Structure 1
Amino acid sequence: MASTAPHTVLVVGGAGFVGYHLVSHFIAHATFAEVFVLSRSASSSKNRVEGAAYLSSDITNLASIERILDHVKPDVIIHAASPSPVTGTAKEYHAVNIVGTQNLLKYAKQSNYVRAFIYTSSSTLAKGAVHIDTDETCALANTDPKAPAYARSKADAEIMVLHANYPKTADEKTWAGHLATAALRFPIIYGTRDTTSIPGCLNALAKGQTTTTLGDGINLWSFCSASNCAVSHALLASALLETSPRPAAKRVDGEAFNINDGTPYAFWGFARLCWKRAGGDPSLVSEMTHLPSWFALALATVLEWVYWIFTLGMKRPYTLGRQQVEYACFEHTYSIEKVRQRLGFEPKVDFEVELKKAVEWCLEEGGWRAQLKGVKGVKVD
């Protein structure tokens, strides 16, 4: 039986692209009465949602987290804060994904009001460069010292969250010392307000970098719309707040779930569709040159070292880091059978329609129409 009382949600990292869609969905959901957003950019974000309350704080600051939680008293915490998987550094991943998660868990578990904790995780935490219909039982990247720092930190953080799971039983009177936790693993998320994937494609179009692929160009990816991402968070939050225990086969607390649109799509097909929707001439990509994956990986490794040496580890390559090359060259597909069976999640989205909306938003609101105007082979209306 689901809990019907209105609940308070705190979305940590809710001022970004994904956070905007999470907050919008929770605001519209009848089960959740109040939505708070905690973010370092809360006061300056352009992604604010009417009806939500925004609080500026840093989850790496333990005292600040204690004050925020005591003020908000959330029933549910959604931990969606993370440095960019593309431009973040190992130091930033440790600070936010490890230390920040530890801080949130510490005060969430000792409180008498936080009941559920959801970690917004990543499908790419799976071990290895190739993931084919990978399920939640896979080995994780934290067991591989050569894995990208982002993937290792997300794996470590998810493990912390799931190990903190200790829901209250019916005969216990207080939630202090108890917490129902779970994680949602996402691949590439796309939608309006995207600041990474679609802008990256449009940047390549603006620079005329549309005729070369890394690898053979046919590798598949699981993608997830921002709307499916938001729906899955609310669905899991409601399940974690249920007052009646679930049978083992339907258990959700202490579990991780893959979430995506359910149908894989070619990684380079995603880029081509973005270029097409932005006005790119089809002849720009009619004949592609394929850079061998081994060569691209070797080049990326050298470039990573050059950046590390000359920036003292403070910056990473934006377009040709090793992690980006692995994404571009190899298959990354993930099974969602577990979440279908345990939460009844069914993705609802028309991939091409949603991607078109997202590209149009980037053109109009993200400033890309002006940047693409005058670019050879691009016809911007």
Structure 2
Amino acid sequence: MNLSQQQLLISGIDGFIGLRSAELAQAKEMKVRGLQHSPDKFKKVQKPGIQLFLGSITDPVVVQEACQEIDIVLHTAAVTKESGSLDYFREINVGGTINLAKAAKSAGVKIFVYLSSVLVYGFNYPDGVTEKGPLCGENNPYCQTTIEAEERLLQLNSLPDFNVIIIRAGDVYGPGSIPWIVRPLLLMRQKLFALANDGLGVINHLYVDNLIEGIFLAIEKEAYGEIFNITDGQETSWKEYFTRLAEIGGFPEPISLPASMLKSVLWQQNLAKKLMGKKADIMPDSVDFVTRPYAYSIAKAQSRLNYQPKIDLEEGMRRTQEWLQKTDIQKIIL
């Protein structure tokens, strides 16, 4: 499929991945429409050629309007916090996803791309795990509801009329990434950041432009009804990643604590903040996200899509450093 002149709807266009997807889609001469929930970021997304709809993916009226005359939906909107109410996660990540997909199908949209996550494999998966799994919810609301959303979406896949593609993204970093750039740097600034278990294990980092290239390839190759792991394909240790991040942020190499001790410290800090009526900086469950031990296989994306990540960690960090030099990251999550 030729992407030029295709009508693309991006849910969560005001997010880090959604906004960059819009920019790269326009570079491919696609016609971009965005759906965003927060009115606070409306001006940020108001760019020439982008039509915006304001509302929730759980609102049937809003999504039906947004899907009219659209060829492709890229669904990036989701609750991605480390922990929280399962009901709330399910309302947005499952209910909202299916609401948008049904509206798209009803409006005659041909392609629905769901931005999923490698976290569907849980935290203790086999080395080189492929798209066949096993999947594991880990009693974590994000992991659980992402698995549920995938399952429900695939039930709607109906070739050739409504074609679902699922992209299981790795740990997406780059300018604007909250979990892998902004939050750790803010914690380093406060001298509150520590590696877990000396940074052993593998971060399956994925520079945002590599992710979007993988998405576009899946659409171009018409990989309908298929699932793909997408990462940078580099087996980088957590220690190396966060040490590099500290360097570009101008901070010393992070200290390390045993994972169990780090969780305990976070529980105590969060309890103290709660008693003072303040919001926690980071949840204890975050430790599970940064102790994953192995790499995910991207062999299917490489063979089926000819996916070859163009931006390695060194270049990704260089671009991120350029962005940091002109950005007040404190304002991003306030």
TM-score (structure 2 length as normaliser):
0.88
Given the alignment, which residue of 138, 142, 167 partners 1:184?
167
The CA distance in 2 between the partners of 1:358 and 1:156, in whole Å, is 33
1:116 correspondence with 2:111:
yes
SS in 1 for 2:241: helix
Secondary structure (helix, strand or coil) at the match of 1:329 reads coil
Structure 1, unmatched stretches of 5+, are 169-177, 241-251, 370-381
Distance in 2, Cα, partners of 1:310 & 1:116: 48
Asked which structure has the greater CA Rg, the reply is 1
Alignment of 1:342-357 (within 5 A): 342-357=304-319
Distance 2:48 2:250 in 1: 33
Aligned equivalent of 1:106:
102
1:36 alignment partner, one of 33, 38, 42: 33
| Offset at residue 341 of structure 1 (A) | 1.1
**Cα deviation 1:98-137 (Å, max 9, x = unaligned):** 11011112122223x3000000000111134355222111
Runs of 4+ with deviation above 6 angstroms: 301-304
Any residues of structure 2 matched to 1:350-365 within 5 Å, and which?
Answer: 350-365=312-327
Could you tell me which residue of structure 2 aligns to residue 134 of structure 1?
Answer: 129
Cross-structure match for 1:321:
284
Per the alignment, residue 194 of structure 1 pairs with 177
**Does structure 1 residue 62 correspond to structure 2 residue 96?**
no
Structure 1 residue 223 corresponds to structure 2 residue 223: no
Q: CA RMSD in A?
A: 2.8
8 Å Cα contact 1:86-1:318 kept in structure 2 = no
Which of the numbers 341, 345, 349 marks the counterpart of 2:303?
Answer: 341
Provide the rounded CA distance (Å) in 2 between the counterparts of 1:166 and 1:56.
29
In the alignment, does 2:231 pair up with 1:268? no
Change beyond 3 A, Cα 1:4–1:189: closer
Segments of 5+ residues of structure 2 without an aligned counterpart are: none
Q: What is the identity, as a one-letter code, of the residue corresponding to 2:300?
A: K
Partner deviation per Cα, 1:182-238 (whole Å, 9 max, x = no partner): 10011211112223321122112211235x421132211111001101111111222
Structure 1 residues 298, 79: closer, same or farther in 2, change over 3 A? same
Counting only pairs closer than 5 Å after superposition, residues 1-381 of structure 1 correspond to structure 2 as: 2=1, 6-30=5-29, 32=30, 34-41=31-38, 44-45=41-42, 46-70=44-68, 73-86=69-82, 89-111=85-107, 113-130=108-125, 132-142=127-137, 146-168=138-160, 178-209=161-192, 212-240=194-222, 252-280=223-251, 284-285=252-253, 288=255, 290-297=256-263, 317-322=280-285, 324-367=286-329
Deviations 1:263-306 (CA, angstroms, capped at 9, x unpaired): 121112221111111222xxx338x4x422344456667888x6
- Give the secondary structure class of the aligned counterpart of 1:141: coil
Displacement of 1:356 in angstroms is: 2.5
Q: Provide the C-alpha distance between the structure 2 equivalents of 1:318 and 1:208, rounded to a whole number of angstroms.
A: 12
SS of the residue aligned with 1:153? helix
1:247 is matched with none
Give the aligned length. Answer: 328
CA distances 1:156-179 after superposition (whole Å, capped 9, x unpaired): 1112222221112xxxxxxxxx31
Q: Please give the TM-score of this superposition, normalised by the length of structure 1.
A: 0.78
Distance 1:262 1:351, change over 3 A: same
More contact order relative to length (CA 8 Å, sep ≥ 6)? 1
1:85 Cα shift?
2.9
User: 1:122, 1:184 within 8 Å by CA — same for their partners in 2?
Assistant: yes
Secondary structure in 1 aligned to 2:41? coil
